[in-house]
Amino acid sequence: MKTINRYKNKLHYCYSRSHHVNFYLRNLTTTPNPKFHISMAPNAATPLSTIHAFVQLCARERALLQGKTCHAKIIIVGLDADSLTSNMLINFYAKCGPIDQARKVFDLMPERTVVSWNTILGAYTKNGRDQEALSLFVSMHREGKTPFTEFTVSSVLCACAAKCDVFECRQLHCFAVKTAMESNVFVGTALLDVYAKCGLLRDASRLFELMPERNDVTWSSMVAGFVQNQLYEEALMLFREAQVIGLEQNQFTISSVICACANLAALIEGKQVHAVLCKTGFVSNLFVSSSLIDMYSKCGSVSDAYNVFSGIEEKNVVMWNAMISGFARHALSMEAMILFEKLQQVGLCPNEFTYISVLSACSHIGLVEKGKSYFDLMVKQHNVSPNVLHYSCMVDILGRAGLIHEAHDLIEKMPYDATAAMWGSLLASCRNYGNLEMAEIAAKHLFEMEPENAGNHVLLSNVYAAKSRWGEVVRARKLLKDSEAKKERGKSWIEVKDKVHAFMVGESNHPKINEIYLKLEKLLEDLKDLGYNPETEHDLHDVEDSRKQELLRHHSEKLALTFGLMCLCPGAPIRIIKNLRICGDCHSFMKFASSITGREIIVRDTNRFHHFRQGSCSCREFW
Ligand code: ZN
Ligand code: ZN
């Protein structure tokens, strides 16, 4: 009894100095101490405040066992009828994991306050049990005894966001307007988040514009919403706006913006974000730094990516993967393979993503044997079972090396259904090696799987053209015209003075377009003197319309390059991204342009990066 009292006194003392209590509890929860249970248990004489303090501490420290013992005693002394105590117990169970237990306490409560409803609703949404949260909200509404708070509405909206439930969200929006909660920053932000997650960006941005008060979460939800819906330019514009008003950026906004820069290949903007990161210290966050590596490599600056990578002392496997895939993407296959060895030397284990990168490095420079040995190593030594992407890389490696039949065998034998990407890769290999028979097989599968993709028809007709089978070329072209397949219009982007400029094929809207066409004509003449010969007849790689010469001359990447030559300082590399695969004519144009201007030209197309230097390309004509 003496010990118990001493203990109780100690708890009182400790509670007033919460760090002591934390220390105490931490020790007690890790070292089972029978005295703890006895002494902590409330009895009729224990003051209510002590019990509450204890339940709250158990919740904070996730001390399930101790809390449960306390709960038992609470029932024995009849305190469970007290709504404040019950709310604390609900919170305790929700934090420690057993939500159903929290629900039991909630269901048994004689009197439920708004705090009780909010606690259990919050617990459901935090644990991804969105349907239960929504149905509970409906019963709360039906019961009609308890008024809602902003917290209630935003919790339920979180559940809608996770379920992408627009219908419920709209109902809640009406409800928020009716109850004048719409102007509350938490409710407004939660509404905005649901609309953005459901792809209703117009609703989201209208809400954002109308919000009387916005916090950093509001801004980051809006930026993330744009990025999730691939509206990268809008995301960057909003980020700039936030910077102008001096808003403090959180790491979620920063990560979204890095992602936007990567997708737009906006290197200058990306570097500015990097500078912001260095100031805020987020750069040490492993997640942020691996997205920086990814951003730099997608922006075509693999050396900047490597600087970030080597500047980080403690690297995890995600970071190594980002760097290896960066090297692979830029056809720096040796570097990718060396890094793969180093990763193992530092004691980390390559995972499925590492293998995807290293296999694609092999495919870029046609290392068949090496690719096969990595595939073996992955299965036998690292116990990674190959997924469909690993098979896809292998099909690529074999096909690019001309082992078309072996690639086809692999597709037939693998334990997955073949993807369109695999048949597409095989068809491209058939075009390169003139294998008509296999090209027809691959194309047949592709027409079934992607009836919308015009590129496949063009690829097949190119194979016929290369074999001078003009009858089939005409037939394939007619088939394309008759089919529903639509050709995506060629579009390229280039960043000049931290603004991204977009060019469509045959662009007419850009403010400097006349100047650009004039300069392009002059450039074409100069290149022809050097031996450039526009491939207008039977372009083998063309996925846009190769029959129209004027269109070919005005392919979007040529316009973007010309604009870059006009605006970027002499000697600076020119980086362009393209929404389709670069065509054979533009590829040859870029090679000549790199030699006549002495510039490095980097083109990222849908498949890969092309680094043009001194008249040659890093892809070695293999793409
Ligand atoms: Zn082109
Ligand atoms: Zn190339």
Find the distance separating the first CA and the last CA of the chain, reported in whole Å: 82
Q: Where in the chain is the domain with CATH 1.25.40?
A: 404-487
pLDDT tens per residue across span 391-424 = 999 999 999 889 999 999 999 999 999 988 899 8
Type of residue numbered 551: L
> CA of 322: how far to CAs of 229, 293, 315, in Å?
23, 6, 11
Q: How far is the CA of 466 from the centre of ligand 2 (A)?
A: 20
Tell me how far apart the alpha carbons of residues 599 and 594 are, in angstroms, rounded to a whole number.
Answer: 5
Question: Can you give the pLDDT at residue 549?
Answer: 57
For residue 535, the ligand closest to its alpha carbon is 1
Question: Can you give the pLDDT at residue 223?
Answer: 94
Q: How far is the CA of 81 from the centre of ligand 2 (A)?
A: 75
* Helix (H) / strand (E) containing 173: helix 166-178
Q: How far is the CA of 422 from the centre of ligand 2 (A)?
A: 21
Q: How far is the CA of 583 from the centre of ligand 1 (A)?
A: 4
> CA of 395: how far to CAs of 157, 590, 619, in Å?
45, 29, 18
Min mean pLDDT across 48-57, 293-302, 591-600, 610-619 is at: 48-57
Nearest to 587 by CA among 550, 551, 549, 616: 616
Q: How far is the CA of 590 from the centre of ligand 2 (A)?
A: 9
Band of pLDDT at residue 41, cut at 50, 70 and 90: low
Ion ligand 1 nearby residues (CB, 5 A): 555, 583, 586
Tell me how far apart the alpha carbons of residues 167 and 353 are, in angstroms, rounded to a whole number.
Answer: 38
Question: Can you give the pLDDT at residue 551?
Answer: 66
Tell me how far apart the alpha carbons of residues 556 and 537 are, in angstroms, rounded to a whole number.
Answer: 19
Q: Is the pLDDT of residue 10 over 70?
A: no
pLDDT tens per residue across span 258-274 = 999 998 888 888 998 89
Strand ranges for 167-214 from DSSP E: none
For residue 585, the ligand closest to its alpha carbon is 1
CA 586 to chain CA mean position, Å: 30
For residue 582, the ligand closest to its alpha carbon is 1
Sole residue written with tokens 């495919």: 363
For residue 331, the ligand closest to its alpha carbon is 2
Q: How far is the CA of 458 from the centre of ligand 1 (A)?
A: 14
Contact by Cβ (8 Å): 612, 601: yes
pLDDT tens per residue across span 82-139 = 888 888 888 888 888 787 888 888 888 877 888 888 888 888 888 778 888 888 888 8
Percent with pLDDT over 70 in the chain? 89
For residue 578, the ligand closest to its alpha carbon is 1
pTM of the model: 0.70
For residue 584, the ligand closest to its alpha carbon is 1
Tell me how far apart the alpha carbons of residues 337 and 328 are, in angstroms, rounded to a whole number.
Answer: 9
Bridge partner residues of 609 (DSSP): 604
For residue 613, the ligand closest to its alpha carbon is 2
For residue 612, the ligand closest to its alpha carbon is 2
User: 105: which 2 tokens?
Assistant: 């306490």
Sole residue written with tokens 């405040």: 49
Q: How far is the CA of 83 from the centre of ligand 2 (A)?
A: 71
Q: How far is the CA of 602 from the centre of ligand 2 (A)?
A: 9
Q: How far is the CA of 612 from the centre of ligand 1 (A)?
A: 15
Q: How far is the CA of 583 from the centre of ligand 2 (A)?
A: 10
Question: Can you give the pLDDT at residue 134?
Answer: 83
Q: Which DSSP string do the residues of 21-58 spell out, in sequence order?
A: HHHHHHHHHHS--HHHHHHHS--TTS-HHHHHHHHHHH
Fold of 404-487: 1.25.40
